[in-house]
Amino acid sequence: METFGCQMNVVDSERIADMLTQIGYLPTADAEQADLVLLNTCSIRDKAERKVYGHLGSFKPLKEKKRDLIVCVGGCVAQQEGERLLEKVPHLDIVFGTHNLHKLPEMVRLVEQKKGRFQETQFLDQETRLQLFPQRRDSDAITRFVTIMQGCDNFCSYCIVPHVRGREISRPSREIVQEVIELAAEGVREITLIGQNVNSYGNRVEGEISFAQLLELVADIDGIERIRFTTSHPKDISDELIACFGRIEKICHHIHLPVQSGSDRILQQMNRGYTRPLYLDRVAKLRAVCPDIRITTDIIVGFPGETEDDFIETLSLVEAVGYADAFTFLYSARPGTSAADLKDDFSADVKQRRFDRLLALQQENSRQIWAQDVGSVLSVLVEGESRQGSGQLYGRTTWNRVVNFTGSDNLIGETVSVKIIKNNRNTQLGERVSKNN
Ligand code: 5AD
Ligand code: SF4
């Protein structure tokens, strides 16, 4: 199984793996060994989507060698393409959409019995979706994702998510709290509450608490030491939520706050629902309650009609905020979104040059921010042994950077003091400030 895209797919893949295990399929890292291969796909940009076809192509020789191999595609490309995927890819057996994970075992059984090829991409009603919400699973991890909402109603003009994940739905707060209590009892120390737009949690449900109130409840649970959440929408980040960063110690000092563009004109065309001044006001308020907060973002370059002036506004916003990191993307027209109808007539070259300028600016900003850590002693929650193997541990700082350092595995799950020695590309190298181990 291979997973592409966002945390939603990561959580879905965990569930898929559990369901497949129950019907007798165990994980293998070697595709040659597999009786079933599955791609959990992402369609956020054209490139992500093309990868799926590339990957599927690579399974063709395998299927020719092994007639009984079952080839499955799930996730957002499956949702969008449905039947067309089966038509385009003759060696594909199963296509299942974002609301149809639960159908997979039954579909696999049918394919095993040579009953044909199958696709399920129906959107479900709210009540059924609530019953099928991802639930707690056993695992010995120190950090876990907890899904608190799914789908999105914002319809940003460039975005495929509302079309492939369906309408926004919030999970009942008592279920979320119960899950976190159970996770804490299992040894989980950090949770990340996830949803497409967590800030609007509960807004559409009569009598449900707000996201800020949910954070308070989760923070009261013994054993949970750190709380993160993603993704936040700037238009929905309330004063009440911002205040949580000052009031609730367990909330990590990092927020991912996608801005997409620094130009009001483009923000409006994107249907983002906020202006540049409003965004900057939210950032100033966050810094007022939590001065050392680090902010990361997403930015789209080359949205249809973006002028040089619009782009300069983006550069100046990036400069004004001082992001710790920014994920930058070239605009990619997605079928079915409203921006796909906009005239998009400036050259790929101009877009690429803008992209490179933004990247260079951000890389320098990032370098300066992370360089401040060298020599400091930071609290690191130890998550496990690093890939380098024995004696090497990794964990993260409050700012969500991975730190690698030497230590014994009985520290896993503990929060330790680590002196930062050096910055690598996306990680830091540290040295434990000694206790006994
Ligand atoms: N083209 C380019 N980037 C996109 N994103 C979403 N849709 C598109 C698109 N059509 C980016 C946004 C979002 C991130 C997850 O992906 O920046 O925040
Ligand atoms: Fe897409 Fe906008 Fe919803 Fe984010 S808030 S998932 S960018 S539509």
Strands 143-147 and 118-120, by their bridges, are: unpaired
Q: Is the pLDDT of residue 437 over 70?
A: no
Ligand nearest to the backbone CA of 161: 2
Higher-confidence residue of 113 and 425: namely: 113
Query: Given the CA of residue 152, which atom of ligand 2 is nearest to it?
Result: 3
Distance 5 CA to ligand 2 centre (A): 14
pLDDT of residue 435: 62
Tell me, yes or no, if the two domains 127-252 and 286-371 fold the same way.
yes
- Give the side-chain half-sphere CA count within 13 A for 336: 14
pLDDT of residue 345: 77
Q: Which of 374, 417, 383, 389 is nearest to 402 (CA)?
A: 383
**C-alpha angle 207/210/211, rounded to 5°?**
145
- Kindly report, residue by residue over 226-274, the tens digit of the pLDDT: 999 999 999 999 999 999 999 999 999 999 999 999 999 999 999 999 9
- Kindly report, residue by residue over 5-62, the tens digit of the pLDDT: 999 999 999 999 999 999 999 999 888 899 999 999 999 999 888 889 899 999 999 9
Q: Which of 396, 398, 397 is nearest to 383 (CA)?
A: 396
pLDDT of residue 167: 95
Domain 127-252 is in which class?
A: alpha beta
Q: Which of 19, 12, 13, 1 is nearest to 106 (CA)?
A: 19
- Kindly report, residue by residue over 93-117, the tens digit of the pLDDT: 999 999 999 999 999 999 999 999 9
Q: Has domain 286-371 been given CATH number 3.30.750.200?
A: yes
With beta carbons less than 8 A apart as the criterion, state whether 224 and 188 touch.
yes
Percent of the chain predicted with pLDDT > 70: 99
**Which range is least confidently modeled, 131-140, 355-364, 365-374?**
131-140
CATH of domain 377-432: 2.40.50.140
Task: Work out the average pLDDT over 352-363.
Answer: 98
Ligand 1 pocket: which of 160, 267, 300, 303 to mutate (most atoms within 8 A of CB): 300
Q: Is the pLDDT of residue 434 over 80?
A: no
Distance 201 CA to ligand 1 centre (A): 21
Give residue 134's pLDDT band: very low, low, confident or very high (50, 70, 90): confident
With beta carbons less than 8 A apart as the criterion, state whether 175 and 142 touch.
no
For residue 262, give the 3-state DSSP assignment.
coil
328 vs 300: CA distance, rounded Å: 6
What's the residue count for the chain?
Answer: 437
The residues pairing with 364 across neighbouring beta strands, listed in sequence order, are none
Phi and psi at residue 102, to the nearest 5°: -65, -15
**C-alpha angle 237/238/244, rounded to 5°?**
95
Tell me if 158 CB under 6 Å of ligand 1. yes
Residue at 423: amino acid letter: N
For residue 342, give the 3-state DSSP assignment.
coil
Distance 329 CA to ligand 1 centre (A): 7
Distance 260 CA to ligand 2 centre (A): 11
Task: Work out the average pLDDT over 345-361.
Answer: 94
Ligand 2 pocket: which of 197, 200, 297, 334 to mutate (most atoms within 8 A of CB): 197
With beta carbons less than 8 A apart as the criterion, state whether 4 and 51 touch.
yes
**What tokens appear for 412 in the block?**
């896993």
The separation between the first and the last C-alpha atoms of the chain, rounded to the nearest angstrom, is 38
Strands 377-385 and 415-423, by their bridges, are: antiparallel
**What tokens appear for 290 in the block?**
């939590």
Domain with residues 2-122, CATH architecture: 3-Layer(aba) Sandwich (3.40)
pLDDT of residue 372: 97
Phi and psi at residue 88, to the nearest 5°: -75, -30
363 vs 359: CA distance, rounded Å: 6
- Kindly report, residue by residue over 183-230, the tens digit of the pLDDT: 999 999 999 999 999 999 999 999 999 999 999 999 999 999 999 999
Q: Is the pLDDT of residue 286 over 80?
A: yes
Residue at 284: amino acid letter: A
Tokens 């949580």 appear where? 244
Task: Work out the average pLDDT over 323-327.
Answer: 98
Question: What are the extents of the domains in the chain?
Answer: 2-122, 127-252, 286-371, 377-432
With beta carbons less than 8 A apart as the criterion, state whether 194 and 147 touch.
yes
**Which range is least confidently modeled, 242-251, 331-340, 383-392?**
383-392
Tell me if 149 CB under 6 Å of ligand 2. no
- Kindly report, residue by residue over 145-189, the tens digit of the pLDDT: 999 999 999 999 999 999 999 999 999 999 999 999 999 999 999
With beta carbons less than 8 A apart as the criterion, state whether 416 and 432 touch.
yes
